[in-house]
Amino acid sequence: MALIVQKYGGSSVADTASLKRVAQRVVAAHRAGHDVVVVVSAMGDTTDDLLDMAAELNPDAPKREMDMLLSAGERISMSLLAMAITAEGVPAYAYTGRQAGIHTDTRYGKASITGMVPERVARALHTGSVAIVAGFQGVNDRGDVTTLGRGGSDTTAVALAAALNADVCEIFTDVDGLFTADPRIVPLARQVRKLDYQETLELAANGAKILHLRAVEYARRYRVPLHVRSSFSDKLGTWIADDRPASTLAGYLDPDSFDRKEQDMEQPIISGIAHDRSQEKITVAGLPDKPGTAAELFRQVAAADANIDMIVQNIAVNVPGRSTITFTCQSGDAKDILERLEKAREILDYREIVYNPEIGKLSLVGAGMRTNPGISARFFEALSKAGVNVEMISTSEVRISVIVDADRLDEAVRALHAEFNLDAQETEAVVYGGTGR
């Protein structure tokens, strides 16, 4: 017997037919003798629909009320799925984030989990029932509902798996696993059978949409094996772990699949290519070139509760004593950052700000990059041949990232995929839903 946490994304529970299919999958795992906890996202485009309605009523709605509104989508999903599972003859109980014991900080809209006390979930499992938890949400110490940010249901699932000491956390989506690139852009993208936590962190941090970054961080910290699969098929999927998953999964999953080698690849120097369209670029020109300037600039950015990704500083050749700092951020944070910088103009003493939302981020990821010279040369040569100009560069020991024009991003992804021989012989990816989540 194993304890399994399953997470189903919005496209997997998009309608009643989908909910019935998910219920049958959950019941099959339960009848195989396993304890099952299910985490669900909102149905289909429910979250986007709620955002649109809120924008019509108040474009600057209070963040607390937005969390109250957006948490409703997952509550609908969990209740309907509990009904569908019960109809299959298995007892099931649905719990909100609060009822499941998910405690968060007070940052509405992008709260972090501060504690997990899943007592009611554990009691449900003890009675032989399936526990269903609304993803994406928790409760802060004021008693208010909070949300974890888009994709936060992944984090909910992994956090529950860690707290319950689960044998595996399955992430069900509308594709058959992780691929060497987004199959919507590269139809010949190859499925990756196994990744370690570090490679997966780099892919998630740089735009791969199948897994939420904080979920992967949580999984690595608590050594939770992840298995990314499609809820629309029974294909093998992708394992994410540093160690072999528990043998107790035999009869439900195939732990031996973790040890299978990739075929027709030069033992993966490159694991995949990620891209991100949600980045925007801000350039602060004419800053005083002296100690403390960058610290004050990013103090203002931090006050906007924004996360920064790439940073480049240049000395202004034509203006002695001045420098320029360029950085990228998530598009949802740009408005608040620009407002903070405008208010701090006298403090920062800059000449101008240039804002560019029309950018894309492209990242090449692979653990083999540590020991294979020449990867950077091939990377930039491929972009050059494709006529793609690079605006910013960032690297780690297993990643190269660049910023390019948004309208050249897809072309750049395809060029790199071909350069590093990642194309499959035939189409492997099937997008069963439409959102990737």
Which of 399, 432, 416 minimizes the C-alpha distance to 181? 416
pLDDT digits (tens, 9 = 90+) for 153-199: 999 999 999 999 999 999 998 888 899 998 889 988 988 888 889 88
Which pLDDT belongs to residue 144? 96
Over 50: is that where the pLDDT of 437 sits? no
Least confident stretch, 51-60, 381-390, 407-416, 418-427: 418-427
Over 50: is that where the pLDDT of 311 sits? yes
pLDDT digits (tens, 9 = 90+) for 342-368: 999 999 999 999 999 999 999 999 887
Per the model's pLDDT, the better-predicted residue between 210 and 395 turns out to be 395
Q: Determine the Cα–Cα distance for residues 353 and 376; give it in Å rounded to an integer.
A: 31
Which pLDDT belongs to residue 411? 95
Q: Determine the Cα–Cα distance for residues 40 and 75; give it in Å rounded to an integer.
A: 9
pTM: 0.83
Owner of token pair 């490159």:
270
Tokens of 236: 């093998």
Query: 154 with 211: CB under 8 angstroms?
Result: yes
Tokens of 378: 């091939």
* Residue spans of beta strands (DSSP E) within 185-316: 191-192, 194-195, 226-230, 238-240, 272-276, 279-288, 308-315
Once rounded to an integer, what is the mean pLDDT over residues 106-131?
A: 95
pLDDT digits (tens, 9 = 90+) for 232-253: 888 888 999 988 777 777 667 7
CA dihedral 122, 125, 129, 135 (to 10 degrees): 50
pLDDT digits (tens, 9 = 90+) for 364-412: 998 878 777 789 999 999 999 999 999 999 988 889 999 999 999 999 9
Distances (CA, A) of 172 to 119, 202, 313, 335, 408: 25, 20, 41, 34, 31
Distances (CA, A) of 399 to 216, 321, 364: 17, 34, 6
**Neighbouring residues of 90: CB distance < 8 A, sequence distance ≥ 6:** 26, 27, 30, 31, 129, 130
Once rounded to an integer, what is the mean pLDDT over residues 77-91?
A: 97
pLDDT band at 102 (very low <50, low <70, confident <90, very high): very high
Which pLDDT belongs to residue 243? 80
Q: Taking all residues of the chain, what is their mean pLDDT, rounded to a whole number?
A: 90
Share of the chain above pLDDT 70, in %: 94
